[in-house]
Amino acid sequence: MKKILLCLTAVLFNVFVASSQTDTIATTSVSTDNEVVLPKKNNVKVSLTSLVFKNFQFQYERSLTKRIGFVFGYSFIPKGSVPFKSQINDLTSSSSDTKDMFTNAELGYTAITPEVRFYLGKGYGKGFYIAPFYRHLQYDITDINFTYTSDLGAQEDIAMGGKLSANTFGLQLGAQFNLGKHLILDWWIVGPHYGTSKGDFAGVTSRLLTPTEQAELQKELDKIELPLSDVNAKANANGATINISGPWGGVRSGISLGYRF
């Protein structure tokens, strides 16, 4: 992985040097043969690196001034099987008895990310930039499985689902290059962000649970562990509820290919 990143960094650096030497797109209005050529102030982009995780990320950027641009991003993961199930099980459970809780689970994801870019290079969407941003994301998760023992000694399941949302603020460092008259490459070098999250999940059984069965289900719920988050899980006669709150953070990084117009 380190070798790939080093090679990728070298390629991007060479592209940046080449484009800075050969770029002929005007950054100010120029009159040629009585025709005024204006800088292209709009572009649309799609992230290439996130496609590996079936995460579709799109951006629209508008240059407000030579040095300042506004970017609106939208990303989503279609509802489907939870990726990295074994790793998630290891993080969320303290017992080997609940390692299959995400076997049938499905996950969907959406996020919006507005940002303001301040370009340090030639401007109009070209060169190195810093960009404060806000991100709102939401996960939709269904069919998280919990197994408990009934009064008859049989193993019964309850499927839980719900939504988790987070709001974070961060600072993106990146660089955008021209690959030609219309094509551009946007390199998100690093963008740490931090904020808060809140999630509500519920599961309903097909029958009312006895006090003993509720106690057995509560034992399974008590095994849930989320790093740095507060988990309030309660069994009841109709099933169970789980409420989650706590800090949320991450790092944005990747490569996008775009079209300038």
Q: Which domains does the chain have, with CATH numbers?
A: 2-260 (2.40.160)
Percent of the chain having pLDDT more than 90? Answer: 69
Residue 183 has what pLDDT?
96
Kindly compute the dihedral angle of the four CA atoms of residues 102, 108, 114, 120, in this order, to the nearest 10 degrees: 60
pLDDT of 73 higher than 70: yes
Model pTM score:
0.78
Question: Which pLDDT score, from 0 to 100, does residue 93 have?
Answer: 57
Q: What pLDDT does 39 receive?
A: 84
Q: What average pLDDT does the segment 74-102 reach? A: 70
| pLDDT classification of 89: cutoffs 50, 70, 90 | low
- Inform me whether the pLDDT recorded for 85 exceeds 90: no
Give the number of other CB atoms < 10 A from CB of residue 213.
Answer: 20
Cβ atoms of 176 and 210 within 8 Å: the answer is no
Q: Is the pLDDT of residue 16 over 80?
A: no
Q: Say if CB 132 and CB 115 are below 8 A apart.
A: yes
State the amino acid at position 79 in one-letter form: K
* pLDDT at 153 > cutoff 60: yes
Query: 107 vs 140, 160, 161, 178, 204, CA distance in Å?
Result: 6, 12, 10, 36, 19
The residues, any chain, with a CB within 8 Å of residue 74's CB and separated by 6 or more, are: 57, 58, 59, 110, 111, 112, 113
What band does 172 get if pLDDT is binned at 50, 70 and 90?
very high
CB atoms closer than 10 angstroms to residue 21 = 7
User: Which H/E stretch holds residue 92?
Assistant: helix 85-92
34 falls in which pLDDT band (50, 70, 90)?
low
pLDDT at 37: 63
Q: How far apart are CA 23 and CA 17, in angstroms?
A: 10
Mean pLDDT throughout 205-215? 95
The average pLDDT across 6-35 equals 43
Amino acid at site 30: V
Q: What distances in angstroms separate CA 109 from CA 10, 89, 116, 144, 171, one per listed residue?
A: 33, 19, 24, 16, 22
Mean pLDDT over the full length of the chain: 85
The Cα angle at residue 18 between residues 15 and 19, in degrees rounded to 5: 80
pLDDT of 35 over the 70 cut:
no
pLDDT at 234 over 50: yes
| Residue 24 predicted with pLDDT over 50 | no
| Cα–Cα distance list, 221 to 11, 25, 91, 120 (Å) | 49, 60, 14, 51
Residue among 115, 24, 25 at smallest CA distance from 62: 115
Helices (H) and strands (E) in the chain, counts: 3, 11
